[in-house]
Amino acid sequence: PGRRRLRTARRAGLLAAAGALALLSFEALRRVGFDSISGTLLASSPTWVIVALALMCGSMVLRAGAWHAILRAAVTDVRPKLSDALQGTFIGVLMSATLPARLGEPSRALIVARRLGRPREHLPVVLGTLVSQTLLNLLALVILGAIMFSTVGLFAGRQQALVFYALAPFVALCVVLVAPALLRSGLPSRSSRVAQSLDRARQALTRVRSGLAVFSSARHAAVAVTLQLGAWAVQWASCYVLFVALGLDDRANLGAAAAVLFAVNVTAVLPLTPSNLGVFQAACVAVLTGAYGIKTADALGYGIILQAVEVATAVIMGAPALVKEGVSWREVRLRALHSSPVSLPPRGSRGAFETD
């Protein structure tokens, strides 16, 4: 009964938030003008939109390649395949596009751990590799931030926000590195159950820390850094191509594309809605109108098309991956939402996700 009430309250909260977001979005569209926005969307070049979509898909492939290099450095008892990283990345992108709170991250870790076999043992290590990839994403964002701050004056005096944002992953990294020592076995405890729980937590965190092994291998690190930064560069190009598609490239240059890409990623640190809907467009409007003098209707139209391209990428890449994996969207969603331990069977069991 308690869990049922909690589930009902959670659903009611999500529905209320979705309703509020819908009302705010409608009001924003009404103020800007439906005709102006629709005119911007209809005036876009389908050819250039398709080019942007292809670039976005290519970016996902490069991200998977970078993750594969990280996995190979971290997982030593089996040899991760490139297809493992591709499947996990594509499904994770799809889940991120359709679920709030970055639930695509645990989803892709679950998929890869399942494909590697012995998922209970491999899941902490795979989660550790996500930390490594997050650090590479941080490097890319710092580069984008530097480009943005050097080309626009909108953020002048606000560089401190970039510093605070950059510190967050490093704090998480320190926790991962130090926590196993703090939870070392032998600590006095009045409860054997507490002692066992602490020991299991220490072992899991130690395996998570092994996911950072890529930084101790020059070869794997070079591949991971090159591919991950390459993925960001391709995504950056995709953002610029959409300016061309909308005829905004005479006012919005590569610096504008970097600013948009930086802004939408900073606002998506913990998205409250699937695909960060609403906030995504607001970030685009704030950057393009405030720094480049682009009309609100054009900026909002750009935000709508950019997000449509990202969601289309998630569906094009993720839906076939789900079919190939033999699991349903609902199964992956349930495992990503539940924080209780799960036993993920090897791929021999077609799509069966079982709880303990």
pLDDT in single tens digits along all 356 residues of the chain: 566 776 677 667 656 765 665 665 555 555 555 565 666 666 788 999 999 999 999 999 999 999 999 999 998 889 999 999 999 999 999 998 888 767 888 899 999 999 998 888 888 889 889 988 988 998 898 888 888 877 765 554 545 555 555 555 556 556 555 555 555 544 555 566 666 566 656 555 666 666 778 888 899 999 999 999 999 999 999 999 999 999 999 989 999 999 999 989 887 776 766 667 777 888 898 889 888 889 888 898 899 999 999 999 999 999 999 999 998 888 888 887 764 334 444 555 444 444 33
**Domain presence at residue 346:** no
Query: Helix axis angle, 119-151 relative to 254-266, nearest 10°?
Result: 140
Cα separation, 248 vs 323, whole angstroms: 38
Contacts of 97 (CB under 8 A, 6+ apart): 104, 274, 275, 310, 311, 314, 315, 318
Q: 39: alpha, beta or left, given left = phi > 0 and alpha = psi -120 to 50?
A: alpha
Find the farthest-apart pair of alpha carbons in the chain and give their distance in angstroms, rounded.
70
Instruction: Taking each helix axis as running N to C, give the angle between helix 296-325 and helix 82-98, from 0 to 180 degrees, rounded to the nearest 10.
Output: 130
Distances in whole angstroms, Cα of residue 88 to Cα of each of 80, 100, 190, 242, 327: 12, 18, 42, 27, 12
Structure confidence at residue 224 (pLDDT)? 96
Query: Is the pTM value of this prediction over 0.85?
Result: no
**Is residue 341 within 8 Å of 356, Cβ to Cβ?**
yes
Q: d(Cα 89, Cα 93) in Å, to the nearest integer?
A: 6
Q: b/e string for 185-198 if b means 16 or more Cβ within 10 A?
A: eeeeeeeeeeeeeb
> Does residue 251 form part of some domain?
yes
Total number of residues shown for the chain: 356
Nearest to 224 by CA among 139, 140, 133: 133
In degrees, rounded to 5, the angle at the alpha carbon of residue 18 between the alpha carbons of residues 16 and 22 is 115
92 domain residue, yes or no: yes
Q: Is residue 237 part of a domain?
A: yes
Structural domain span for residue 239: 35-337
Torsions phi, psi for 347 (to 5 deg): -65, -10
Give the separation between CA 145 and CA 244, rounded to whole angstroms: 22
At residue 354, φ and ψ (nearest 5 deg) are: -115, 140
Tell me the C-alpha distance between 12 and 1, whole Å.
Answer: 16
* Structural domain contains residue 29: no
pLDDT for 354 equals 43
Dihedral pair phi/psi, residue 220, rounded to 5°: -65, -35
Is 142 within a domain?
A: yes
Structure token digits, residue 84: 């493992």
HSE-up of residue 25 (Cα within 13 Å, Cβ side): 16
Into how many domains does the chain fold?
Answer: 1
Task: Enumerate the β-bridge partners of residue 343.
Answer: 354
What SS3 state is found at 342?
Answer: strand
Structural domain contains residue 301: yes
In a domain, 275, yes or no: yes
Helices marked H in the chain — which ranges? 2-32, 34-42, 46-74, 82-98, 104-116, 119-151, 159-182, 192-210, 218-245, 254-266, 279-292, 296-325, 329-337
pLDDT at residue 50, rounded to an integer = 95
